[in-house]
Amino acid sequence: MRLVLMLLALVALAGLALAAGRSWLGPVEVMQALFSGPEGVGRMLWSLRLPRLITGLIAGMCLGAAGLVFQTLLRNPLASPDVIGLTQCAAFGAVAALMAGLPPMAGAWVGAVSAIILLGWLAAHPREGLAPRAVVLQGLGLALLAGAGTEALILRAGDGNASMAMAWLTGTLNGAGWPEVGRALWLVPLLAPVFAARRILDRLELGDDLARSLGLRVGVLRAALGLLAALVAAGAVSLCGPLGFVALAAGPVSRWLARRRPDPFLAALVGAGFVTLADVLARGLAPAALLPTGLYTALIGAPILLVVLRRQMSDKSS
């Protein structure tokens, strides 16, 4: 039932995203524009709003699913890609690729995979294996290092590339068109095995010893799921920049909806709704300013972060 309600809410947000902007459209106008094709009012819908909506939906799904995977693997609600440095490393790789004239998604993937390998090496214990708390702490340092590297790249770039990179780093869907939709569709096949891993994540959350007794190869599965989550999160970053708090907030909200069980598909829907809502606010509240979507994801996600921190403190004290 909750899944159905989430799908209905996402459809409603998608309708709002198609209607919102400098020129608001009514429900009848939106439907007519969708069926009439790129002519008249439909030109604005098909060339601007529809590709922007699809790009935001896929990016939000990637960030939401990736956030839940990392939070489950590391057993920490704060262990999202934007906290452990993965998003920042993906952004560094994407900016470096952009400056070199290469595809940003390839650079983001290289940055994210490098971050996963580096974190695994830094946080590994010789006898106890991967230490989840160490991953978060090492990731914070890695995020600062990647952020400094990105700023250094921007300072060395020309004015045109620097301004474009700075706008992209705020997390924005401005300028998203059908080429971005084409790149986003490449991420859908990567999401499929993440969605299929719901039962595996459920068992891994029971603890390594119990998961092994159930026949799971814990080390292999954790590495494979971490790599997949890193790739989809980096792909989302390459599309619209590092949208803050989406990956962090989607996991706890989806767990609340799924009665505390890890459900990557539900987390993906929450992430998609999160990004779509932020984009509706960006275009509905200040349509002339074209404020970045990342500003609104931060405004919505920051209170959720405070609630998560408060609940962690309550759980530890009880």
Residue-wise pLDDT for 225-256, tens only, equals 999 999 999 999 999 888 888 999 998 889 88
Q: What does the pLDDT average to over 108-123?
A: 88
Calculate what percentage of the chain has a pLDDT beyond 90. Answer: 36
| Range of lowest pLDDT (11-15, 152-156, 208-212) | 208-212
Q: Hey, which residues does 125 pair with through a beta bridge?
A: 129
pLDDT band at residue 177 under the 50/70/90 scheme: confident
The pLDDT tens digits for 126-174 are: 555 666 777 888 888 899 999 999 998 888 876 667 777 787 888 888 8
Mean pLDDT value across residues 69-74 = 91
Give the per-residue pLDDT at 191.
94
Helices (H), the chain: 2-19, 27-36, 41-44, 50-73, 86-99, 104-123, 132-156, 159-169, 178-185, 188-196, 198-204, 208-213, 218-240, 246-257, 264-285, 293-317
- pTM assigned to the model: 0.92
Question: Which pair of structure tokens corresponds to residue 138?
Answer: 């090492």
What is the Cα–Cα distance from 130 to 301, expressed in whole angstroms?
A: 29
- Residue labelled with tokens 């994540």: 201
CA distance 249 to 229: 16
Residue of 268 and 318 predicted with greater confidence: 268
Does the pLDDT value for residue 120 go beyond 90? Answer: no
The Cβ of residue 132 has, within 10 Å, a number of other Cβ atoms equal to: 14
193 vs 161, more confident: 193
Q: Which residue has the higher pLDDT, 183 or 44?
A: 183
What is the band of 204 on the pLDDT scale with cuts at 50, 70, 90?
A: confident
On whether the CB atoms of residues 269 and 10 are closer than 8 A, the answer is yes
pLDDT at residue number 115? 92
Q: Are 238 and 107 in contact (CB under 8 A)?
A: yes
Say what the pLDDT of residue 149 is: 92
Average per-residue pLDDT for the chain: 86
| Structure token digits, residue 256 | 């609340």
Pairwise CA distance, residues 4 & 150, whole Å: 41
Q: Identify the helix (H) or strand (E) that includes residue 46.
A: none
Residue 124 has pLDDT above 70, yes or no: no
User: pLDDT confidence of 26, banded at 50, 70, 90?
Assistant: confident
Q: Look up residue 231 and give its amino acid.
A: L
Q: Once rounded to an integer, what is the mean pLDDT over residues 289-295?
A: 83
What residues contact 309, with CB distance under 8 A and at least 6 apart? Answer: 78
Distance of CA 65 to CAs 167, 192, 290, Å? 25, 11, 28
Please give the radius of gyration of the chain, using alpha carbons only, rounded to the nearest integer.
Answer: 20
